[in-house]
A = this chain, B = another copy of it.
Amino acid sequence: MKHRDQIRQIAKKVNKSGQRSEMREKALPADEVMAILERTRERDYSYDRFLSTMCTRPHPIAIKAHDMFLETNLGDPGLFPGVAGLEEEVVRMLGELLGCPLARGYISTGGTESNIQAIRAAKNESGKCGGNIVVPASAHFSFDKIGDLLSLEVRKAELDSQLRVDLSSVESLIDEHTAALVGIAGTTEFGQVDPIEELSDLALEWGVHLHVDAAFGGFVLPFLDRSFAWDFSLPGVKSITIDPHKMGLATIPAGGLLFRNQECMNALETETHYLTKARQASLTGTRSGAAAAATYAVMMHLGREGFREMVGYCMDLTDHLVRGAKEIGVEPLIEPVMNVVALRVPEPSKVRERLMDRDWHVSITREPNRALRLILMGHMSHENVDLFLKDLKEVLSEFV
């Protein structure tokens, strides 16, 4: 609790210099504003101790590209044909990465927008009002937002012992009112991959849109030694969420939404007046060209070999953590598939708080699979994993 109280205190007192709570009449010199910002920035925690987030420090080339395109707006592409071309290139590269070089799509603000838009397209295509979608119980909370936004019932299918969605549970939930089926390639909590091949068969059988949420896994799975069938190479997969601002090392806000073909995109289009383009498929209007340029820069600079190296590093960290955890008697819920680990500990919430008191930012998974959840991103080091394990051991000793 100490930790959280501290956060609240800081948030309340972010600005100690007395410029709080109302809009100033007078201008404040730039150096004074920058001094406030510098003090404030120091109150943010550092990625070095983050084991709870799927975001990371952007790659240096992403930062440079972002700066260069900062004033561009992809919502008005005729004014910015340069960056609009970069977005097209990114979509092409992502399509090729995901088994469909002719895929259509755009750079969204992130996984939530991509998921919203995929389900909205599926709903509009199906013409089903007041219908339902079937998602794994492990689905990201954005699907709850989607149910609320799109007035769809969100049916949650059970997980099997390996925390993949259970196919018989999915089958029992699909009906003629189902507008979309969702599979996850890299679940937020466990990094698990659902049986997408079987979901694809089921989707084809029912004539239902299958959306794959690979917000995290999209930039991991293609670069693992182990191979999975999960992308557009499966005929039932109609759309994929893949986030450059997670394992793609781009800047925020860079989400990716890919559709197998143009028809799905059409189901999203709104007529736009007074812009340089007559129709718009994105959820937002004005949108960042900077993050799209950053995505382009990282993908071009790293290439597949660079991503393989980065993912290899994260998997190394993951193995190192799991081995160390086992040595102190802590087992993972499942053997990690990617760089997400759920550790079985007593009283996960309390363990989390003790770890946060030691400045480790960790998180926990939901019932009925309560566990300590750790993401091993590229900002983490082997040294810090060792320090973390030492602290974990000490914290756990309080719980025996």
A interface, CB within 8 angstroms of B: 4, 7, 10-15, 19-30, 33-34, 36-38, 40-45, 47, 50, 52-53, 55, 57-58, 60-61, 63-73, 75-86, 88-89, 92-94, 96-97, 101, 109-113, 116, 120, 124, 129, 140-142, 144-145, 148-151, 188-189, 243, 245-246, 251-253, 270-276, 280, 283-290, 293, 296-297, 299-306, 361, 363-366, 373
Contact = CB atoms under 8 A, between A and B. Distances in A.
A252 B290 contact: yes
Given A97-B23, A112-B283, A44 B72 contact: yes
A189 B274 contact: yes
Contacts of A129: 151
Which of A33, A47, A297 counts the most chain B CB atoms within 10 A? Answer: A33
Contact of A252 (B11, B64, B73, B97): B73
Contacts of A275: 52, 363
Number of copies of chain A assembled together:
2
Contacts of A274: 52, 188-189, 363-366, 373
Contacts of A50: 79
Contacts of A151: 129, 150-151
A149 B119 CA distance: 10
B25 A303 contact: yes
A145 B279 CA distance: 12
Contacts of A149: 116, 120, 149-150
A305 B85 CA distance: 40
Given A42-B82, A88-B14, A30 B61 contact: yes
A322 to B, nearest CB: 19
B10 A85 contact: yes
Contact of A27 (B65, B101, B287, B301): B301
Given A23-B96, A33-B61, A89-B20, A303 B273 contact: no
Nearest to A83: B44
Which of A53, A71, A77, A92 counts the most chain B CB atoms within 10 A? Answer: A71
A21 B11 CA distance: 46
21 contacts: A14-B86, A21-B92, A23-B93, A23-B94, A37-B68, A37-B86, A44-B79, A44-B83, A52-B275, A53-B79, A67-B67, A71-B252, A78-B361, A141-B272, A141-B280, A142-B285, A150-B151, A246-B286, A253-B286, A253-B288, A273-B364
Contact of A37 (B79, B92, B293): B293
A270 B148 contact: yes
Contacts of A38: 68
B252 A286 contact: yes
A87 B89 CA distance: 34
Nearest to A279: B141
Given A37-B86, A273-B363, 10 more contacts: A10-B82, A11-B84, A20-B89, A33-B297, A38-B68, A40-B86, A71-B251, A141-B270, A145-B283, A273-B364
A311 to B, nearest CB: 14
A81 B44 contact: yes
A286 B68 contact: no
A388 to B, nearest CB: 16
A85 B26 contact: no
Given A44-B83, A57-B71, A270-B141, A25 B305 contact: yes
A143 to B, nearest CB: 10
